[in-house]
Amino acid sequence: MDSANFASDDEQNDAYYDNVANNRRNYNRNRNRALARAVVAVAGHRLNTRRQSQPMHNSTLTGSMRVEELLNGHEEIIQGMISMKAETFRSLSNLLASRGLLKTTRNMNVNEQLFIFLVICARGETNRHISYLFQHSVEATSRWFYKVLQVICSLKDEFIRPADYTSIQNLIMENSEKYRPWFDGCVGAIDGTHIPCAPRRENANAWINRKGYHSQNVLAACSFDMLFTYILAGYEGSCHDARMLEEAIAFHGFPLPPPGNVDVNADYVFNDEIDGTGPSTGSHQHDPSREAMNGMRDHIANEMWERYQVAPWYKQT
């Protein structure tokens, strides 16, 4: 009796463990099938929804072809894009190429290198937009921009030179009715301009000018023949013109006018009493020529105002 009970218990145990093993095999089999179905479904979905790859630069016009098209097009278009005429551009390009400062590469010729640089400077275009326009990578556009920038800056001493003061005096004397006595002793004009910029975030506030946008303040002087004789760039937009002038004289080699001559500006006037400390902010000395100029200005303004008032379309409010 006891042996029969033990045999029955063993059979039950064997049946139990066999059932557990079968259940585990079935579970693993079903799990693997479910995983396989999921993998196939995901892979099929990705294959069906994958976008077809297409080249980014697929224009029928290469960068050099686009440059030539613009240079041979309407003069207003080229003037608006690079702020110079086509013949001026070609002269500059030939100069840089003849001196070996810029060289044609497999992917970009000298005209295109210079044109990209000028478009970015004149219009403030982004690197990505220029890359699309001329069918080049962003890296290549950035690299060539800085290359041309270094080349252009290397020409500053050749093209930005102090004025020939003797020839300026002759110009005033030859056109006495137009310039005298208002420009007696004047050697040129100086002024400041603001050029938009993108400063680093940590000191961006210093570059905000009085009009509320980021810029660098540039001080420039030119002669009567409209040639630049001095340029000081790189100052924050918040820097005042007078402060730039003081530092230009003290630290940056500003070419002071010879004794008896003046540089005229709307904000300050140089004369032979400048001692290197910048424009005077104290009392103004009596100057008969300045009084005469002011009188002429007031006379013209009053005459224009009188004519304006009697015009038939004028309505006083």
Domain of residue 150 covers 63-157
Q: Are strands 186-196 and 215-222 parallel, antiparallel or unpaired?
A: antiparallel
As given in the structure block, the two tokens for residue 27 are: 């579970």
Residue 32 belongs to some domain of the structure:
no
Ramachandran class of 124: left when φ > 0, alpha when ψ lies in -120 to 50, beta otherwise: left
Residue 240 belongs to some domain of the structure:
yes
User: Among 29-33, 37-41, 42-46, whose mean pLDDT is lowest?
Assistant: 42-46
Under 8 Å between Cβ of 222 and 198: no
Place of tokens 């000028």: 118
Residue 229 belongs to some domain of the structure:
yes
> Looking at the structure, do residues 185 and 262 belong to the same domain, yes or no?
yes
> Looking at the structure, do residues 138 and 198 belong to the same domain, yes or no?
no
User: What sign results for the dihedral spanned by CA atoms 108, 111, 112, 113?
Assistant: positive
The whole-angstrom separation of Cα 50 and Cα 52 is 6
> Looking at the structure, do residues 242 and 259 belong to the same domain, yes or no?
yes
Can you tell me whether residue 215 is helix, strand or coil? strand
Residue 147 belongs to some domain of the structure:
yes
Residue 311 belongs to some domain of the structure:
no
The whole-angstrom separation of Cα 135 and Cα 56 is 8
Mean of all residue pLDDT scores within the chain: 77
Q: Examine the fold and report which residue of 157, 177, 211 is the final residue of a domain before the chain moves on.
A: 157
Residue 39 belongs to some domain of the structure:
no
Residue 254 belongs to some domain of the structure:
yes
- Give pLDDT tens digits for 218-235: 999 888 777 888 889 889
Closest by CA to 217, choosing from 197, 239, 200, 202, is: 239
The pLDDT-based confidence of 284 (bands split at 50, 70, 90) is very low
- The number of CA neighbours under 13 Å toward the Cβ of 160 is 16
Residue 209 belongs to some domain of the structure:
yes
The pLDDT-based confidence of 53 (bands split at 50, 70, 90) is low
> Looking at the structure, do residues 291 and 180 belong to the same domain, yes or no?
yes
The whole-model pTM stands at 0.57
> Looking at the structure, do residues 190 and 222 belong to the same domain, yes or no?
yes
Provide the number of structural domains found in the chain: 2
Angle at 291 between CA 285 and CA 295, to 5 degrees: 160
> Looking at the structure, do residues 213 and 295 belong to the same domain, yes or no?
yes
> Looking at the structure, do residues 135 and 96 belong to the same domain, yes or no?
yes
The whole-angstrom separation of Cα 107 and Cα 109 is 7
Q: Which residue type does 115 have?
A: F
